[in-house]
Structure 1
Amino acid sequence: MVSPTSKEIFIQGVTQDGKTFRPSDWAERLAGVMSSFRPGGARPGSHLSYSPWCIPTTLNGIKCVVVHRDLRDHEPMAWDFVVNFARDNNLQVAEACLVPDAPVLPPPAKP
């Protein structure tokens, strides 16, 4: 299902037969469950923010969870949990690399 060389997987809120996955807040719930898995381990209050290894987002109008491979290297059981979540719910998974937005540059100065 996931190649060993991909840096990130995108679990998409669309089933293999094209139906929107419910409930509508599934991505936030899944990322919330994974919030304690982070670089340096869980710390007091870490449950109040998402792990940088498991981030909910919306891409092209579709709810997704971006899961970084570092999660697998740090905590294989947590990786297996998210991959099995996608498989058990028949969700589409894409392998990719999330490219950060380019910085906004100021307009050039007028001569």
Structure 2
Amino acid sequence: MAAEAAFVARVTGTEVVRVDDVGGRLRPLLTDRTLLDDVDCLVVVAGLDATLAATVGAMTDVPIVAVPTSTGQPGSFGGFGALLTMLNSASPGVVVSNIDNGHAAGLFAARIARRTAR
């Protein structure tokens, strides 16, 4: 899903920087602000740790598109558990796409980036 979101955003003309496998390295990513300084929007793809989007949303003021995935945890009903977790996020500035919908997430992030560039 992350590759799909990055591809769609790149095709629509926005610059994309991918950071993979953040789980466990979240604090160093957010304490080293070099990746987040000039970012207009973040796409957070998570399955097993669906609270990742809310955590990132609480630590930064950048708009976030959360993408729940159907993989990652057995018994999550095909991503339904991750979707409900992301929908119930208390962090402001987090929007949630459909399960496994990297296309919509990439397009939405690209639209935010284009509007911010004006």
Please give the TM-score of this superposition, normalised by the length of structure 1.
0.27
Please give the TM-score of this superposition, normalised by the length of structure 2.
0.26
Which of the two has greater helix per residue? 2
| Higher relative contact order (CA closer than 8 Å, sequence separation 6+) | 1
